[in-house]
Chain A
Amino acid sequence: MKKLLSIILLASMVAGGCKPESEFLTVDPTAILNNEQAFNDPALVLSMLANFYNRQTDFSTVKNWESMADFSESFPSQNGGPKSIIERNQWDFGFWSTWDYTLIRELNLFLQRLEAATKLKDDEKKRFRAEGRFLRAYYYFEMVKRMGGVPLILEPMVWDYKGDPTYLRHARATESAMYDFVIAEMQAIRPDLPADVNVKSRASRGAALAMECRAALYAGSIAKYGNVTPSVSLPNGEVGIPANKANDYYTKALTAAELIISGSAGTYALYQRNADLSENFAALFYDKVGNPESIFIEDFKLKSGKVHGFTQVNQPRFGAEEEEGGRINPSLNLVQSFEKLDNTFEPLPVKDGAGNPIYYDNQTDIFAGRDARLGGTVMLPGTFFKRRQVDIWAGYVLADGSVVTGDDRGSQKTLPGQTQPVQVVGYDGPIHGKEHTAQSGFYLRKYLDPVSGSGSRGTGSEIPFIRYRYAEVLLNAAEAAFELNQPGVAAGYMNQVRARAGLTTALGAGDINLGRIMHERRAELSFEGHIVFDQKRWRNAHVVWDGVSMNEADLLSNIGSPNKHNTQPFSLWPYKVHNPGSPTHGKWIYRIIKSPLVTGTNRFRLGNYYSFINNDIRSNNPKIVPNPNQD
């Protein structure tokens, strides 16, 4: 019996242990999901999409302060690396280029495999497909902004191992075909995306409309203003859009914008929650609770691993939560461009008509009566961040006009007539060449997170980077309406944005011109990655950044004019007056200064309008024609 048992046991082991020879080595991997598994579980598909969302290319984001610090809109307070921004005399032709066909291929594979998936519910599949196409168009839009037309690859290409790659080579699409593609994709996927204002970090109907609107506006202005720089074009249209298409694009832009404004994609609105309009404008970027203004964002979350250090590198250095901060110092060029409340432009009153300094009781008085977005974008001397006043002042001015100052943050010296040393320069500077101090006299406010801990390396900040927001949609609508000869409509949309900033004197139809629109976008959208692409599409970049160095008279003239050149960042330094016995004692004066560190000028060459496609790319694919005006 015992023997029988062991025989049975042995027999069953033999029978059970043996597989057919052909399957002997076929073991399902335990660490890799195959396509069928991955594309039949909505959670796994979403995680693949999350990867694609994370890999999108943006410009001037909270993840990279250096790209915000350019264009003479600010002074980079670092003694190396980004300091080259103020030392170089031109942008290389390769600036702003991007060529990530790996991402495009993976998105194409994603879409192909998603189609083949069988177990996903229909509505899930639709939304995933729409998101995949949204992200593909998002990157193609980013490419056409920078490179012009590129090969428009919409299928994953497969290598046949036969040794001849010519069938994989594709020529560049025309620039207008790229924009047409983005617009058509957004129109096609729109119904499959949720019309929900609270969907912000994933594609939503609002995001699709906003992208369509921006793309159509870009294409329209390239068509319309292409004649300003006739040499920025290629004979087959890879660069440049025929002028007769302008109206069509502007109409599409206006239609898309009005679909958002009418609430068809959810009730987006301007952020208006704080009676202090400057604080309100700053809060628009850090308030994450049901923010009605942001449409599509890159989100961050504390303790999730996805945080950013933007506050850490840009916070006021004095009392910072880390031994750093103060990197982006907005320039006087930008600060003085904010309008006065009567809709006029004027330099900051530093001197009276006779050339004598104007004395102020409080440090902030000089900035009074201006566009509230100034205080929301720029941290002005004498204002507060995290309940601490920024300590920006450059020294004492004596009766004879000479200056007593120090070369370190908060350094002390003995003033004439006194016996004890006192602090003679602010703990936030400004001091030439002292990194982390406010070398232009200003710190950045936009995108700074007021939450405690946001400025420390270990914690970081979770405020989102806003890619599309409602105010931009309004300004897009205004610009498209203006170009379509409806200045009254344009004024209406612009006035909404301006009223939120405290500019309550409405602009009339006759006040609207392209210069106004350019200025409005600079005031509203500075440091949000628009300025270079806006100036490019208006074909105005070579005028604004003409490479000619600036002096003070240059700086103070023609403020608000679209062709005012802006090639070097200037500083505005506050000084305390030390003149005991005089009525001016203890008051503040300001001086306009050009930092000796600013040696270069911004020069935007015609070859910078479209970034250089490098020779390796062109060697691998000789069908790619080079961009114009580059050597």
Chain B
Amino acid sequence: MKKLCSYILPLVALLGASCKKDNFDPPQARLHGRLVYQGEGIPGEFNQVPFQLYQFGFGKVGPVSNTTFTQEGSFSVLLFEGEYKLTIPNGQGPFLWKKQPNGQPDSITVQMKGDQQLDLEVTPFYMIRNVQMAAAANKVTATFGLEKIVTGADGKNVERVNLYINKTAFVSAGGDYSIASSQRGGGAITDPANISMEVTVPALVPAQSYIYARVGLKLQGVEDMIFSPVTRINL
């Protein structure tokens, strides 16, 4: 009993206390939101459009968080409380982000104290409007319109539009992300407000009775594509 008091209890107490001391809490404040234009979300390509969070005063350069938007155009990060600056690097994303007079991307100051929702208002070069998808006779048909948002010197021309289909909800050009696609060059589009495309559904192995589809728009001189929301279609 004496042994217990004199050795073991203090030891246990010490261990308990040191655990508390050595570890600090993981980041718990959640910053989340999405890319919007006049209240409407801007879907992008999975893992392609990045945003960065910087925090000053730690003696290092470089972002503390460097990750990407989801294909719905939303984001979510867990942070320690404090002051951050959020930005989107130059040349990223199919939209215009505010710039400083010297050409560097502007940033948004974010005070993290508890969870926070932050929608990022940007100006996309185009919007894909009135998307309608239908499946018939082993073909997926999409009708949609393109609305040019940015005009003038910063305006971009259409390079091509694609209709992608995939077995999973990740739909874009990459190897894992489309099982078939059809393409139309910018020159072959007569009426941007009313485009119709179709793609043949290949044999699905293993079979499934539905498919995911969406339309992508590639602009000249812009690396990232603009997408319509992913639609699930029953075959």
Contact = CB atoms under 8 A, between A and B. Distances in A.
Interface of A: 89-90, 230-231, 235, 542, 546-549, 567-568, 598-601, 603, 605-606, 615, 618-619, 622, 628-631
Given A231-B221, A606-B91, A549 B103 contact: no
Given A628-B91, A631-B50, A619 B60 contact: yes
Interface stretch (B134-142, B170-178, B207-215): B170-178
A598 B59 CA distance: 43
Given A605-B223, A615-B60, A630 B178 contact: no
B175 A615 contact: no
A334 to B, nearest CB: 19
Contacts of A230: 221
Contact of B91 (A235, A542, A548, A629): A629
Q: Which 6 A-B pairs have the closest CB atoms?
A: A615-B62, A631-B50, A601-B175, A89-B174, A619-B60, A549-B175
A577 B106 CA distance: 67
A549 B66 contact: no
B174 A600 contact: yes
A603 B174 contact: yes
Give chain A's interface secondary structure class: loop
A283 B62 CA distance: 50
Contacts of A629: 89-92, 223
Contact of A549 (B59, B91, B174): B174
A601 B89 contact: no
Interface string B54-88: 00000111100010100000000000000000000
B228 to A, nearest CB: 18
B52 interface: yes
Contact of B62 (A567, A618, A628): A618
Interface in B176-210: 176-178, 181
Given A547-B174, A600-B175, 17 more contacts: A89-B177, A231-B223, A235-B103, A546-B173, A549-B174, A549-B178, A598-B175, A606-B223, A615-B60, A618-B62, A619-B60, A619-B61, A628-B91, A630-B89, A631-B50, A631-B51, A631-B52
Contacts of B178: 549
Contacts of B52: 631
Nearest to B162: A548
Contact of A619 (B59, B68, B91, B92): B59
Interface size class of B (residues with CB under 8 A): 20 to 34
Contacts of B221: 230-231
Interface string B13-37: 0000000000000000000000000
16 contacts: A90-B174, A230-B221, A231-B90, A549-B173, A600-B175, A605-B223, A615-B60, A615-B62, A619-B60, A622-B61, A628-B91, A629-B90, A631-B51, A631-B52, A631-B89, A631-B92
A527 B147 CA distance: 46
Given A605-B223, A629-B91, A547 B66 contact: no
A601 B174 contact: yes
A604 B175 CA distance: 13
Max chain A CB contacts within 10 Å: which of B89, B90, B91, B92?
B91
Interface string B83-127: 000000111100000000001000000000000000000000000
Given A231-B221, A615-B60, A629-B223, A89 B175 contact: yes
Nearest to A568: B175
Max chain A CB contacts within 10 Å: which of B50, B60, B175, B178?
B175
A618 B175 CA distance: 34
Contacts of A601: 173-175
B61 A567 contact: no
A601 B178 CA distance: 11
A529 B174 CA distance: 26
Contacts of B50: 631
A622 B60 CA distance: 9
B31 to A, nearest CB: 17
Contacts of B173: 546-549, 601
Interface in B154-175: 173-175
A230 B174 CA distance: 24
Contacts of A606: 91, 223
A89 B176 contact: yes
Contacts of B103: 235
A102 to B, nearest CB: 22
Contact of A631 (B61, B66, B175, B176): B66
Contacts of A90: 174
Contacts of A567: 175
B161 to A, nearest CB: 13
A261 B230 CA distance: 59
A619 B62 contact: yes
A521 to B, nearest CB: 26
